[in-house]
Structure 1
Amino acid sequence: MLKDLAVLLPVDRPAGALIDCAVSLASLFESHLDGVACVYQTLNPMIASEAAAVVMAAEYDTSVEKAAIVLDQFEIAARRLGIPHDAKSTFNVSYAATRAVTEMSRLYDLNIVAQPDRSNPSQADFLSETVLFGSGRPVLMVPYITRSPIGTDRVLICWDGGVPAARAVHDAIPFLRKAKTIDIVAVNESEDATSEISSTALIAHLARRDLSARPHRLKADASNIHNAILSLAADYNTDLIVMGGYGHSRLREFILGGTTRGMFESLTVPALISH
């Protein structure tokens, strides 16, 4: 059940479309929704020079004002739809603010995040990865090109039999129950695959939940899997993609896997992603 949602709001780029998607989702599932704005200090003023500290203080004050504006925008949208909500903000140097948001995100059923836009970078761009790998909860990534509320009629599941994909299917059950059409795409799976983790087995699993799905098997080079998936999503007018988020640990960082990174960069449809 999706009863407690959070939307992570950037303060240095437009957030209107992200807010609209979040409140529409909260309305659909009759959920509580928290809006969280994250304001970063570029450097701890306690260790900066006096001149640098003055500049940083001015930048910080500007960011605080922007956070207040975006949270007001969020509250107006939530009140308009009668959604129970709360507005929160974090103010700290980047690593501390990110840690606070990541810890906070562990108690939500779903965290709604904005897709990073390389042409319009935000200080909060890395939050999507950090929350995906650090929260233990699914994220719903909203493409920066989105201009309308999230639909649930046509859902596309990306399936490879892996643990993240399995978690994503489980996390997406509330969406699947509202879908009119469920498609499953397996890339480079054998046409006669019948193992316990095949797309055929997944269809049988969903059928036991009274969910009907149709399979699609595609062939693609490893570097082009994300494009093949997005092309299929476009062909079927998909409203929502469900997928596992893959990555590997390097010291304290998680590095996105190739297909996951390709989806992060090229996403054209909202995606529920689980790790």
Structure 2
Amino acid sequence: MSIAEAHAAHVTALVFGAGAFRDASGADTTFLTDQDLISREERVAAHVQKVLESRGIRFEVRGRSNFAYGVGEVLADQMRVSDLGIASFGPGVDIGKRFVVSGGIFLSGRPLLLVPPGHAASSYPSRVILSWDASPAAVRSVHGALPFIKRAEEVTVVSVTDDKEFRPGQSGVELVHLLARHGAHATFRPVQRGRRGVVHAVMDVAREIQADMLVMGAVRHASLHNLVFGSATMDLLDQGPALPTLMAA
């Protein structure tokens, strides 16, 4: 809501059940009947509407428009006619939430901002870190994040130069030049992963500069590739983001 207020945005709140929830103890996952889901959706939608009205934000509240969709397609379908998706996402989420977020990232064509539980995404993050490998996904994530990047006090472009998939294409230095033409205050930071994963190498820099937003491309590989070579995208989704993270595929 704070992002919507700062950017004079229209909010579409998407409310639907994913088919399971944790009970009050957090110990078990309970599967609900269709009627239970509808009842919960109606209560949540009423609460969301009340809160948005109290903030004076332009909004609409939508449910799942077509139950023929798989759960992973619902968010993606709404994001296709939006500028940005936002979802709470952390470690240990149930499989339904994982499908929803994966659909938003890989099927929508739009950027998705993942916010760790208990975090408030800054309307205008002051220190943004960009994970750059010159891939199409990285390009889309950077351009999706431009409204935040242009207002940030500090932008750090990080390239992991000893990654097995490092692309010798347009360098982070050239990206810094582009961002400067957009009015951003950007610098380039090459790093090496060593024995760490790519996400760990980037997050070490994020912690050092006290970044409050990470921007990175998302790439979906075959399962065998992930097993043999690893995947920065899957590592981040498995661990959950440590700070608000904007991703695009």
Fold-level match, TM-score > 0.5? Answer: yes
**Equivalent position of 1:147 in the other structure:** 119
1:32 is the counterpart of 2:4:
no
The match for 1:81 among 50, 55, 61 is 55
Which stretch of structure 1 is more off in the superposition, 73-82 or 231-240? 73-82
1:212 to 185, 201, 204: 185
Q: Give the Cα separation in 2 of the matches to 1:41 and 1:265.
A: 21
Alignment CA distance shift 1:244-1:85 (3 Å): same
Distance change >3 Å, CA 189–CA 29, structure 1 → 2: farther
Spell out structure 1 runs of 4+ moving beyond 6 A: none
Alignment correspondent of 2:28: none
Match of 1:135 among 105, 108, 122: 108
- Identify which of 151, 169, 180 aligns with 2:142: 169
Corresponding position of 1:121? 94
Partner of 2:133: 160
1:203 shift after superposition? 0.9
**What secondary structure, in the 3-state scheme, does the structure 2 residue paired with 1:179 have?**
coil
Task: Measure, in 1, the Cα distance between the counterparts of 2:222 and 2:174.
Answer: 30
**What do residues 50-83 of structure 1 show as CA deviations (whole Å, max 9, x unaligned)?**
xxxxxx8x62222222222322332233222211
Identity in percent: 23
Deviation at 1:99, TM superposition (A): 3.2
In structure 2, the CA distance between the partners of 1:181 and 1:41, relative to structure 1 (3 Å rule), is closer
- Taking the aligned partners of 2:156 and 2:186, their CA distance within structure 1 comes to 5
Take 2:119 and 2:43, find their aligned partners in 1: how far apart are those partners? Answer: 20
Aligned to 1:63: 37
Give structure 2 stretches of 5+ with no counterpart: 21-30
- 1:221 and 1:71, CA in 2 relative to 1: closer, same or farther beyond 3 A? farther
Letter in 2 for 1:147: H
Per-residue deviation, 1:243: 0.8
Q: Using the alignment, how far apart are the partners of 1:217 and 1:175 within structure 2?
A: 22
The change in CA–CA distance for 1:98 and 1:225 in structure 2 (over 3 A counts) is: closer
Residue 126 and residue 98 in structure 1: after superposition, are their counterparts in 2 closer, same or farther (change >3 A)?
closer
**1:215 deviation in Å?**
1.6
Task: Give, in whole Å, the separation in 1 of the partners of 2:199 and 2:68.
Answer: 30
How much has 1:223 moved relative to structure 2? Answer: 5.6
Taking the aligned partners of 2:182 and 2:104, their CA distance within structure 1 comes to 29
Quickly say closer, same or farther: Cα 1:97–1:91, change in 2 above 3 A.
Answer: farther
1:263 Cα deviation (Å)? 1.5
Offset at 1:265?
Answer: 2.6
Aligned 1:35-54 pairs, distance under 5 A = 35-40=13-18
The answer to whether the 8 A contact 1:116-1:122 is kept is no
For 2:103 and 2:2, the matched residues in 1 are separated by 25
CA distance, structure 1, for counterparts of residue 44 and residue 194 of structure 2: 42
TM-score (norm 2): 0.81
C-alpha distance 170-63 of structure 1, shift in aligned 2 (>3 A)? same
Cα distance in 1, alignment partners of residues 65 and 140 from structure 2: 32
Number of positions where the alignment pairs a residue of Structure 1 with one of Structure 2: 230
Against the structure 1 CA distance between its residues 149 and 173, is the aligned structure 2 distance closer, same or farther, given a 3 Å change threshold?
closer
Contact 1:242 1:271 in 2 (8 A): yes
Alpha-carbon spacing, 1:142–1:109, altered in 2? closer, same or farther (3 Å): same
Structure 2 distance, partners of 1:160, 1:60, is 44
Q: What is the root-mean-square deviation of aligned Cα atoms in Å?
A: 2.8
Unaligned runs of 5+ in 1: 1-22, 43-55
Aligned AA (1:26): A
